[in-house]
Amino acid sequence: MRALVTGGAGFIGSHICQELLSRGHFVLAVDNLTNGRLENFEDFDTSKNFEFQKTDILNRETLFPIFKEIDWVFHMAGLADIVPSIEKPALYFDVNVKGTLNVLEASKEAGVKRFTYAASSSSYGIPETYPTPESSPILPQYPYALTKYLGEELVLHWAQTYKLPAVSLRLFNVYGPRSRTTGTYGAVFGVFLAQKLNKKPYTVVGDGNQTRDFTYVTDVADAFILAAESDLSDEFINVGSGNTYSVNRLVELLGGDVEYIPKRPGEPDCTFADVSKIERLLGWKAKVRFEQGVQNMVEKIENWEAAPVWNSDSIQKATSTWFKFLGDNSKT
């Protein structure tokens, strides 16, 4: 197949590119390099079946022509991180909602055979049920989560109205090599890896007993490709590890000193995906054990560039916006 991966130079997108190439497909990676890195292509950019094109999903004039003769679209492009979305909601709406609309329209016009979308489990907010099924209420706590859900609604509507064969995959806490260690407020893995690179203590929020459904990136790439190979359409599906792990366990595996900082409001104590639907519909199940996944990252970390130093002061400064947004000014 001829596959196009938006956000192909990003963390998850580059792994999807690599896995597609390993299965004999042609891959066109599209990225504006705002967050993506050309270094993420180093393991496969010499393949004759790989091509990269720098463009922005908001630029319809340059975007639409490159969808010609494309069979599969993997829409991974978008803005992540919580605090920047609170500070710049209009930008997040433009990229995550309008950008998704552009990719859908380009796909429809080109007559692509399959469309897969990277949705976010953050759309569930703080769930009442664990493991969390797809039927749980959508309760986004901040603009990033909302815009990712609005993007999913567009995808499903295009599947219903225009018969574009499309599936939305709601991702839970993806980790692995090439994950970002920069950003105004990064995910826990990015923060900890940056601290490890700089030989700084790990800043653990709260008591560290909160748990996350850490899902290894190659398993996620496999889920996307299985969805593209299937005949499913107009479906939204959780992608998780089938387990949940404490932040303290992650710190233990990474090794190093710890500094505890106050808990942030609006964050769930647990993320844990109910993966029965994806197992039933796609026969998918995560393969990489958490301990093995963390070990894989630690083995590769020495080759990464030094990242900005994260410490308790910088994290507290970044999250003051979070507290203000949620009306808990007493803890800023």
**Got the DSSP string for 155-206?**
HHHHHHHS---EEEEEE--EE-TT----SSS--HHHHHHHHHHTT--EEEET
Note the pLDDT of residue 202. Answer: 92
> Contact, 36 vs 9, CB < 8 A?
yes
190 has pLDDT over 90: no
Of the residues 144, 149, 216, 245, only one is catalytic, namely 144
Note the pLDDT of residue 184. Answer: 45
Note the pLDDT of residue 311. Answer: 52
- Looking up tokens 């901040």 gives 142
Note the pLDDT of residue 266. Answer: 67
User: Residue 192, Cβ neighbours under 10 Å: how many?
Assistant: 25
pLDDT tens sequence across 267-278: 789 999 999 999
Q: What is the pTM of this model?
A: 0.92
pLDDT band at 179 (very low <50, low <70, confident <90, very high): confident
Q: Report which of residues 233 and 84 the model is more confident about.
A: 233
For the domain covering 2-175+215-239, report its CATH number. Answer: 3.40.50.720
- Tell me the mean pLDDT in the region 77-85: 92
225 has pLDDT over 80: yes
In SS3 terms, 267-327 reads as CCCECCECCHHHHHHHCCCCCCCHHHHHHHHHHHHHHCCCCCCCCHHHHHHHHHHHHHHCC
Domain residue ranges in the chain: 2-175+215-239, 188-212+243-272+290-325
312 has pLDDT over 70: no
Whether 144 is catalytic is yes
What is the DSSP pairing of strand 114-120 with strand 166-171? Answer: parallel
pLDDT tens sequence across 83-121: 899 999 999 999 999 999 999 999 999 999 999 999 999
- 251 vs 242: CA distance, rounded Å: 20
Query: Using omega within 30 degrees of 0 as the cis cutoff, is the peptide bond preceding 201 cis?
Result: no
Low-confidence winner among 24-38, 119-133, 315-329 (lowest mean pLDDT): 315-329
> Contact, 171 vs 120, CB < 8 A?
yes
- Residue 69 is given by DSSP the state T
- 134 vs 143: CA distance, rounded Å: 20
**Closest C-alpha to 121, from 227, 13, 275, 226:** 275
- List all residues 6 or more positions away from 58 whose beta carbon is below 8 Å from its beta carbon: 94, 95, 98, 99, 102
For the domain covering 188-212+243-272+290-325, report its CATH number. Answer: 3.90.25.10
Helix (H, G, I), strand (E, B), or coil: what is residue 22? helix
pLDDT band at 331 (very low <50, low <70, confident <90, very high): very low
pLDDT band at 316 (very low <50, low <70, confident <90, very high): low
> Contact, 172 vs 181, CB < 8 A?
no
- Residue 232 is given by DSSP the state -
